[in-house]
A and B are shown apart, each in its own frame.
Chain A
Amino acid sequence: MARKEIQLDHSVVLDLVKPQSSVLDLGCGNGDLLYLLIKEKKARVQGIEIDDQAIYKCVAKGLNVFHGDVDTGLAEFRDKSFDYVILNQSMQQILHVDKVLADALRVGKKVIVGFPNFAHYKSRLQMLFHGRAPVTVALPYQWYETPNLHFLSIFDFKKYCHTKNITLERQVCIGENHKIPFLRNLFAQVGIFLISK
């Protein structure tokens, strides 16, 4: 697969992971990211996924995956079992985010979190001018069908890390097809953070 065809958020995550690391992906979906991590980074990978159809796709890719929910799936791992724990586009769908993040930071030496930025200017404009809950590329769901339980901005997450004494090692903010170098909370659709404790 040519590097160009890789989803931008996946490509950002790939850049954050050192070669030959061990990686746990929480909410790994069809396993596309894990597959890339093996291929491009020779990583040792493990996924956790709730949807059985997604699991069948992971297994067809030769991936190791546990059927289960992210909220309870982490507790059984030992401290620092993985170099990285990834929550890419899954954090906002988790019931007890605070607990899961604390556990992810326990199980992984570092944690990579990627989430849609609720404070993107298009979202703000939709709220301001249409008075409606935003529906954007990064937040594509109507209010009645969204799997997202939490809506947060890039600022919110940084504030959270500060409050919880979590070290922000890297942050990459992306738009539809490029990185956003400035005014990230306004222009980024997705924020990806490398954090540790």
Chain B
Amino acid sequence: MNKDKKIIKNNSVGLVKTQEFTFESLKLESGEKFGPVTLAYETYGTLNKEKTNAVLITHALSGDAHAAGVHEGQDDSGWWDEFIGPGKAFDTERYFIICSNILGGCKGSTGPVSQNPKTGKPYALDFPLITINDIVSAQKRLVDHLGIEKLLSVVGGSMGGQQVLSWLVNYPKNLASAVPIATTIKHSPQQIAFNEVGRQSIMADENWQSGNYYASTAPSKGLAVARMIGHITYMSDTSMADKFGRQKKESGQPFKFTADFEVEGYLRYRGDNFVKRFDANSYLYITKAMDNFDASEGRPLQEVLQGTPVKILVISFKSDWLYPAYQSKEIVKACKLAGVESTYCEVNSTYGHDAFLLEVKEESHLIKHFLKKVFYAYEVTGEYGA
């Protein structure tokens, strides 16, 4: 317990536990009925009596339900810990925060690694091809289960932002606001291309064996390379130069192609670390869901948003070249045309796509005040809350 106290930082939500919610079946977008489905989730803060203070946080490709706090006996702060806690952007003294691992994930929710009840073995490629809308419809079931009819907000970056847009399009009546961050209505060919190289890398690993590797060796090399490519796209030219320069690593006996440069060592480290915590098949399924996503399914987004009372905050980052600002501006354009109350800010950052996890000060300021406006009576007119 003493150890736990030491690793809990100031204004942390403290010790947290991952919980589970299981339901019989989910009707997928493809028409298939799939089940049972378990979602791993965590909550922080307290749901108020009126159930009006719930915020759903949606995670990115490699994220999980553990967004804040630490688990007992571990030194594992959540992936958005600096944003969630007393007095932070998601102030746990005001709001009830929910974060769940996505359907298809490998961190406690049902995914390819889960046991198929029909065979008693992991699903592997028998797992159905899921979509972002399926991921969101599973989240909706969890939100219903928690007895929340209307979320104060849904907030997420990158693939989390795709989920936010899916909520906005499919369940506008169940939201008071939405915050899509560093995301897009639909992937560009460039984004699909990077994901495809990642998938090819996994499938080219001889250990992959058409996805049936759970009883043998995992395709770790392939997954590590996929992750390395991912990391390159998450950073910027500037952030890489700042972090590594052309600094060389100190190594003993150089082989011709050792990781001489710091950046090479970093990528290898990131890749090797990732395989310890992530399932290669999940990576395939999730990246495919991201690539297939089109928030408004070919229709102009403004048509879908027309007349929605949901308030929207769109955030992008200047050096993000994976989800460039122009993609966020497409969302903003739809808001303008649909006459939706909205705010857009392109945060000045050199971190690249990673900025949504790292630009704590500016991003927190935007989210904190936006949520406050939506939650409390609009401080000047007192109109919100009807």
Q: Is the CB of B380 within 8 A of A56?
A: no
Query: For chain A residues 31-61, which have a beta carbon within 8 Å of chain B?
Result: 35, 38-39, 42, 44, 46, 52, 55-56, 58-60
CA distance A76 to B373 in the complex (A): 25
- Chain B, residues 322-342, CB within 8 Å of chain A (1/0): the string is 000000010011001101011
Chain-B contact segment, one of A64-72, A156-164, A171-179: A64-72
Given contacts A60-B369, A62-B379, contact A52 B339 (CB under 8 A): no
Residues on A with beta carbons closer than 8 Å to the beta carbon of B332: 66, 76
Q: Which B residue sits closest to A44, measured CB to CB? A: B341
Q: How many residues of A contact B (CB 8 A)?
A: 23
Q: Is the CB of A64 within 8 A of B337?
A: no
- The one of B369, B373, B380 in contact with A39, judged by C-beta atoms closer than 8 angstroms, is B380
- The one of A39, A59, A63, A66 in contact with B365, judged by C-beta atoms closer than 8 angstroms, is A59
CA distance A95 to B370 in the complex (A): 31
Given contacts A56-B365, A56-B366, A59-B365, contact A66 B344 (CB under 8 A): yes
Residues on A with beta carbons closer than 8 Å to the beta carbon of B311: 64
Chain A interface, DSSP helix/strand/loop, else mixed:
mixed
Q: Which A residue sits closest to B318, measured CB to CB? A: A52
Residues on B with beta carbons closer than 8 Å to the beta carbon of A55: 345
- The one of A46, A59, A62, A65 in contact with B378, judged by C-beta atoms closer than 8 angstroms, is A62
Q: Is the CB of B339 within 8 A of A67?
A: no
- The one of A44, A67, A78 in contact with B344, judged by C-beta atoms closer than 8 angstroms, is A67
A141 interface contact, C-beta 8 A: no
The minimal Cβ–Cβ distance linking B269 to chain A, given in whole angstroms, is 34
B347 interface contact, C-beta 8 A: yes
Residues on A with beta carbons closer than 8 Å to the beta carbon of B238: none
Residues on A with beta carbons closer than 8 Å to the beta carbon of B344: 65-68
B346 interface contact, C-beta 8 A: yes
B343 interface contact, C-beta 8 A: yes
B190 interface contact, C-beta 8 A: no
Q: Is the CB of B369 within 8 A of A59?
A: yes
Residues on A with beta carbons closer than 8 Å to the beta carbon of B373: 62
Most chain B CB atoms below 10 A, which of A55, A65, A78: A55
Q: How many residues of B contact A (CB 8 A)?
A: 26
Given contacts A42-B381, A62-B380, contact A77 B345 (CB under 8 A): no
Q: Is the CB of A38 within 8 A of B380?
A: yes
A81 interface contact, C-beta 8 A: yes
Q: Is the CB of B362 within 8 A of A56?
A: yes
Residues on A with beta carbons closer than 8 Å to the beta carbon of B333: 76
CA distance A89 to B33 in the complex (A): 60
B210 interface contact, C-beta 8 A: no
Q: Which B residue sits closest to A63, measured CB to CB? A: B343
Q: Which B residue sits closest to A22, measured CB to CB? A: B339
B140 interface contact, C-beta 8 A: no
- The one of B339, B343, B381 in contact with A66, judged by C-beta atoms closer than 8 angstroms, is B343
Q: Which A residue sits closest to B333, measured CB to CB? A: A76
Residues on A with beta carbons closer than 8 Å to the beta carbon of B346: 52, 67
Q: Is the CB of A59 within 8 A of B345?
A: yes
Q: Which B residue sits closest to A34, measured CB to CB? A: B380
Query: For chain A residues 103-121, which have a beta carbon within 8 Å of chain B?
Result: none
The minimal Cβ–Cβ distance linking A98 to chain B, given in whole angstroms, is 22
Q: Is the CB of A64 within 8 A of B366?
A: no
Q: Which A residue sits closest to B336, measured CB to CB? A: A76
Residues on B with beta carbons closer than 8 Å to the beta carbon of A78: 337, 339
Query: For chain B residues 20-49, which have a beta carbon within 8 Å of chain A?
Result: none
Residues on B with beta carbons closer than 8 Å to the beta carbon of A68: 329, 344
The minimal Cβ–Cβ distance linking A43 to chain B, given in whole angstroms, is 9
- Interface of A toward B, CB cutoff 8 Å: 35, 38-39, 42, 44, 46, 52, 55-56, 58-60, 62-68, 76-78, 81
28 A-B residue pairings within 8 Å (CB atoms): A42-B381, A44-B341, A46-B341, A52-B346, A52-B347, A56-B345, A58-B343, A59-B343, A59-B366, A59-B369, A60-B365, A60-B369, A62-B369, A62-B379, A63-B343, A64-B311, A65-B344, A65-B345, A66-B344, A67-B345, A67-B346, A68-B329, A76-B333, A76-B336, A76-B337, A77-B336, A78-B337, A81-B339
List 8 tightest A-B contacts by C-beta distance, closest first. A62-B373, A38-B380, A76-B336, A66-B344, A67-B345, A59-B369, A76-B333, A39-B380
Given contacts A65-B344, A65-B345, A67-B345, 5 further A-B contacts (CB under 8 A): A38-B378, A59-B365, A60-B365, A68-B344, A76-B333
